[in-house]
């Protein structure tokens, strides 16, 4: 279990009261980018309603802040699986804004990686020297300026994959809880399309905010928000936000992966940690939540819990206020799990 995070005295915690929800909209002309708008936020068009969070610039900013918070919490190590330095084909499943895995692979010096980014919307290219990265997502929100070895594809990860069997050296996901309805199917398809000896790595967050020192009351607005998020996801299609490393590990082993490892981390929310790097992590996570919580919440609560927009906004104001309090030492979201496993060398598909 990850160790508790030491807190600063309340008087030493800086105030952050300037944050408020921001929304931006952009559009790209194509059938797949004929976006849908709801409550002032933009949502994907391809397989409309499949993914329940916005894809506008405000949400992209939140995703990038979340990535940087994870990077700091992970100690700048974004790949934990023992992959070869001569990494070949890489699949970034649910690639989001795109740059994260690119930066990871460059930073870890995998010049031979070929990365394909599966996004849940249309396709564009990006690249790395002698490698190929594939990215898949439902939204075409990735940068137009990409390296030649990186390819984006708009597709649904829960449909049959079109890649060859035994094809990838490494499959990577980050924060897909709340996106995938059928994790065993995802693990089975990853296993089929990884080459023998290849690795799958999933980095997931549990939406279950906690405080080790008892400073987050059971009746807090933050706790109620987490509970409502999970209820809405369940009603939206049986999805869950309560990731656990052991649960992911068990499903990967059931799919055939071996040498599966689950690592635990904590991401603080706010400037309360005594450790300087953890305080920087918490500041990034705080900004991501204060500015991004509207997009995380509005569609879920209005569509599946029957809330009115004004009532959602009133409740979110309470959640934001609690997260800015110096005396609440919450970490978000409970634990971060980096789970990775290897396809056996004798596990060739077909």
* Spatial contact of 202 and 340, defined as CB atoms under 8 Å apart: yes
Q: Using one digit for the tens of pLDDT, what is the confidence trace for 194-229?
A: 999 999 999 888 889 999 999 999 999 999 999 999
In this prediction, residue 54 carries a pLDDT of 65
pTM for the model:
0.77
Those residues of the chain that have pLDDT short of 50 are 17-32, 49, 99, 107-108, 119-130, 137-142, 145, 334
Q: What are the DSSP calls for 273-320, one per residue?
A: BSSHHHHHHHHHHHHHHHHHHHHHHHHHHHHHS---HHHHHHHHHHHH
In this prediction, residue 192 carries a pLDDT of 95
Q: Using one digit for the tens of pLDDT, what is the confidence trace for 307-335?
A: 999 999 999 999 999 999 999 999 965 45
In this prediction, residue 229 carries a pLDDT of 93
Beta carbons within 8 Å of 116's beta carbon, 6+ residues apart: 89, 90, 91, 92, 132, 133, 134, 135, 136, 150, 151, 153, 163, 168
């Amino acid at each position: 279990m990850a160790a508790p995070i030491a807190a600063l005295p309340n008087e030493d915690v800086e105030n952050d009261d300037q944050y408020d929800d921001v929304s931006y909209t952009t559009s790209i002309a194509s059938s797949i980018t004929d976006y849908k708008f709801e409550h002032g936020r933009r949502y994907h068009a391809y397989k409309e309603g499949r993914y329940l969070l916005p894809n506008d610039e405000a949400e992209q900013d939140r995703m990038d802040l979340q990535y940087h918070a994870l990077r700091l919490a992970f100690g700048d190590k974004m790949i934990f699986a023992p992959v070869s330095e001569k990494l070949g084909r890489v699949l970034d499943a649910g690639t989001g804004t795109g740059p994260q895995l690119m930066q990871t692979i460059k930073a870890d010096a995998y010049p031979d990686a070929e990365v394909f980014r599966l996004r849940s919307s249309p396709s564009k290219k990006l690249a790395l020297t002698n490698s190929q990265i594939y990215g898949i997502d439902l939204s075409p929100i990735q940068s137009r300026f990409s390296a030649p070895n990186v390819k984006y594809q708009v597709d649904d990860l829960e449909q049959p994959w079109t890649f060859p069997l035994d094809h990838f050296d490494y499959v990577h996901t980050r924060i897909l809880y709340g996106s995938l309805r059928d994790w065993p199917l995802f693990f089975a398809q990853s296993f089929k399309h990884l080459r023998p000896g290849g690795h799958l790595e999933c980095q997931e967050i549990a939406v279950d905010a906690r405080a080790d020192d008892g400073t987050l009351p059971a009746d807090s607005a933050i706790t109620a928000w987490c509970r409502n998020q999970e209820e809405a996801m369940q009603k939206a299609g049986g999805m869950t936000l309560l990731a656990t490393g052991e649960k992911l590990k068990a499903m990967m082993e059931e799919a055939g992966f071996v040498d599966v490892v689950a690592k635990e981390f904590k991401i603080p929310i706010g400037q309360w940690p005594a450790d300087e790097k953890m305080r920087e992590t918490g500041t990034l996570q705080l900004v991501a939540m204060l500015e991004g919580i509207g997009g995380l919440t509005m569609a879920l609560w209005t569509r599946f819990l029957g809330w009115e927009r004004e009532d959602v906004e009133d409740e979110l104001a309470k959640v934001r206020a609690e997260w800015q309090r110096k005396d609440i030492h919450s970490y978000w979201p409970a634990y971060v799990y980096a789970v990775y496993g290897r396809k056996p060398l004798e596990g060739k598909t077909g």
